[in-house]
């Protein structure tokens, strides 16, 4: 294993964490890193803006991530980008820890990702999350902390509450957002889910209309969660129910597409319960 600069996501809990919550917390961190790199370093190609798992340790959950980019890119060490990213996360999360805290110039996608990260420790009395930028010295073979942010479980609940409140403010009372509605799939697509693009899939939400409408995912996470559910061996996508938050896209006062903002629950549709 080649050692190099890295980002550590450490999760300390008294109680076990579900695999789903851990996975989506990790995916949220990766999505925010990719968004940050694309925004601040646009010359970096999308495949290079990924985080790769380098190491997972025992006892506490210690996940060490490395960048897909080369150790030196455009004259910058990875640690410079990693440190910038962790500092940015600290500012965003810090803003949400204030009473009625809000983030300036944010999006619902970013707020959902920050919520997913904090959900890895929320509800655990001893919960603690830490994100660290580690610099590797090839001469001494040692790693030193460059930037470190830590959040406790009590912080996480406030961050989630404020993020969810800001999402509601962004969507607005006059929007066509429907929370916690049941959707079933009408048409599926094996292609990768890409945020804010037509997915090639269609769904039916009978509480809105009984006609199938195109699906657009507000975040990669939402699309991946739906696709991972039915891509598993033995799962029929048309026999699953999805409880979602959806922004209904209207044309001529008629629903034409569903923008899936979040996926709360997935379960088999049992016809025997009719």
What gap in Å lies between CA 107 and CA 76, rounded to an integer?
Answer: 28
Listed in order, strand segments (DSSP E) in 98-190 are 128-137, 142-152, 177-187
Lowest average pLDDT, out of 93-107, 146-160, 250-264, goes to: 250-264
Asked if 208 and 94 sit in the same domain, the reply is no
Asked if 191 and 81 sit in the same domain, the reply is no
- 136/243: higher pLDDT: 243
Last residue within a domain, chosen from 123, 147, 171: 171
In a domain, 1, yes or no: no
How high is the pLDDT of residue 221?
78
Instruction: Tell whether the model's pLDDT for residue 151 goes beyond 90.
Output: yes
In a domain, 248, yes or no: yes
For 126-134, what is the mean pLDDT? Answer: 92
Name the DSSP class of 206. Answer: T
Asked if 192 and 74 sit in the same domain, the reply is no
Instruction: Tell whether the model's pLDDT for residue 174 goes beyond 70.
Output: no
For the chain, how many structural domains are there in total? 2
Instruction: Tell whether the model's pLDDT for residue 74 goes beyond 60.
Output: no
How high is the pLDDT of residue 131?
94
pLDDT tens for 197-206 read 777 899 999 9
Q: Which DSSP string corresponds to 55-79?
A: EEETTTEEEEEEESS-SEETTEEHH
Instruction: Tell whether the model's pLDDT for residue 272 goes beyond 60.
Output: no
SS3 of 174, please?
coil
Asked if 115 and 20 sit in the same domain, the reply is yes
How high is the pLDDT of residue 45?
67
Strand-strand pairing, 51-57 and 142-152: unpaired
Asked if 125 and 109 sit in the same domain, the reply is yes
Asked if 81 and 125 sit in the same domain, the reply is yes
- 58/126: higher pLDDT: 126
Asked if 186 and 165 sit in the same domain, the reply is no
Under the banding of pLDDT at 50, 70 and 90, the label for residue 75 is very low
pLDDT tens for 206-221 read 999 999 999 999 887 7
Instruction: Tell whether the model's pLDDT for residue 72 goes beyond 70.
Output: no
Average pLDDT, the chain: 84
Lowest average pLDDT, out of 24-33, 47-56, 208-217, goes to: 47-56
Instruction: Tell whether the model's pLDDT for residue 26 goes beyond 60.
Output: yes
Lowest average pLDDT, out of 109-113, 177-181, 219-223, goes to: 219-223
CB 108 within 8 A of CB 115: no
For 25-36, what is the mean pLDDT? Answer: 88
pTM > 0.75? no
Which residue range forms the structural domain that includes residue 106? 6-171
Last residue within a domain, chosen from 143, 171, 199: 171
Under the banding of pLDDT at 50, 70 and 90, the label for residue 71 is very low
Asked if 78 and 197 sit in the same domain, the reply is no
- 44/85: higher pLDDT: 85
What gap in Å lies between CA 126 and CA 124, rounded to an integer?
Answer: 5
């Amino acid at each position: 294993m080649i050692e190099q600069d890295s980002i550590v996501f450490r999760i300390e809990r008294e109680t076990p964490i579900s695999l789903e919550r851990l996975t989506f917390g990790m995916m949220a961190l990766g999505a925010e890193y990719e968004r940050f790199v694309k925004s601040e370093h646009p010359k970096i190609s999308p495949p290079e803006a990924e985080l790769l798992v380098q190491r997972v340790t025992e006892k506490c959950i210690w996940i060490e991530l490395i960048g897909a980019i080369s150790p030196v890119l455009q004259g910058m060490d990875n640690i410079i980008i990693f440190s910038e990213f962790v500092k940015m996360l600290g500012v965003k999360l810090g803003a949400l820890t204030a009473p009625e805290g809000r983030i300036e110039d944010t999006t619902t996608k970013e707020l959902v990702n920050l919520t997913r990260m904090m959900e890895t420790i929320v509800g655990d009395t001893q919960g603690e999350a830490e994100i660290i930028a580690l610099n590797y010295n090839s001469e001494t073979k040692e790693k030193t902390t460059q930037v470190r942010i830590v959040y406790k479980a009590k912080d996480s609940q406030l961050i989630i509450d404020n993020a969810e409140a800001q999402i509601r403010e962004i969507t607005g009372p006059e929007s066509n957002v429907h929370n916690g509605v049941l959707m079933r799939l009408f048409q599926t697509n094996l292609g990768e889910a890409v945020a804010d693009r037509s997915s090639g899939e269609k769904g039916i939400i009978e509480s809105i209309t009984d006609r199938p409408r195109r699906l657009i995912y507000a975040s990669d996470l939402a699309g991946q969660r739906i696709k991972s559910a039915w891509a598993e061996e033995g799962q029929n996508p048309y026999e699953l129910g999805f409880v979602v938050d959806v922004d209904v896209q209207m044309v001529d006062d008629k629903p034409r597409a569903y923008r899936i903002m979040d996926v709360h629950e997935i379960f088999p549709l049992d016809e025997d319960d009719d």
